[in-house]
Amino acid sequence: MINIKSIITMNATDKQSVNARKYLGIRIYLKVIMVFCFLGLLLFLTAGSLQFWYAWIYMSTLFIPAIVVMGYFIRKDPDFMDSRLSKRREKEKEHRSIQNLLALPLLIGLFMPGFDFRYQWSHIPLFIILISDAFVLLGYLIIIRVMIENRFASSIIEISNEQKVIETGPYRIVRHPMYTGGLTLLVFTPLALGSFWALIPIGVCALTAIIVRIINEEKLLILNLPGYQEYCQKTRFRLIPFIW
């Protein structure tokens, strides 16, 4: 006999699940749009013109893939994406210090390209700007690949209860491919925005902060994640293949 009550309950649960997914999807998209609106305001206000076309190319290079990726994760694993976007502040004081080390120079570095465009401080050939945009996209694609491979990838330093060592995909090449992608994206951002001067705060401080962060993160992983020390012995390089 068909249990009508069970069918109604199941249908109600399915509707709640669909509605929850839609709400989560809207929330994720709004967060992404807000980030890009803030970035656009920062770049165009400092440039004093909407004709800052380097910024339009740069933002399109990031925004279009971001929308596609958000759609993928909302369908496949919305909780993972929501967790990455929600967790922004480090838990440990030492880790927060490293996070702050990167935040201020990064903000200064994002202010500088607009002023650079306005006052024509730098004269970067078009082909370098376009190549830099390609590297920015490459860095972002590396980050996406890492997120697909590793659902434990977090935007802060932490170890979850069910976390395990990931040795596949980009993790076969370096131990921290997420940082490899992030460093690539950050270092080429100033050139993609037409500014040599912004390389100083972004390039130097980003590399320093990421190296210090990796060293601190690996201490935590070796102590608390079974199998990580053995993984370090098999995968020698942390950030850049054949270098470090």
CATH number, domain of 89, equals 1.20.120.1630
Q: Could you give the 3-state DSSP secondary structure of residue 1?
A: coil
The answer to whether 158 touches 193, Cβ cutoff 8 Å, is: no
Tokens 């994002």 sit on residue:
110
pLDDT tens digits, one per residue of 49-91: 999 999 999 999 999 888 888 888 777 777 666 666 665 555 5
What mean pLDDT is reported for the chain?
83
Q: Is residue 239 part of a domain?
A: no
The answer to whether 149 touches 166, Cβ cutoff 8 Å, is: yes
* Count of CA atoms in the C-beta half-sphere (13 A) of 137: 14
| Structural domain of 187 | 4-234
| Mean pLDDT within 167-193 | 93
Q: Which two tokens stand for residue 24?
A: 């989560």
Task: Please give the tally of structural domains in the chain.
Answer: 1
User: H helices then E strands: how many in the chain?
Assistant: 9, 0
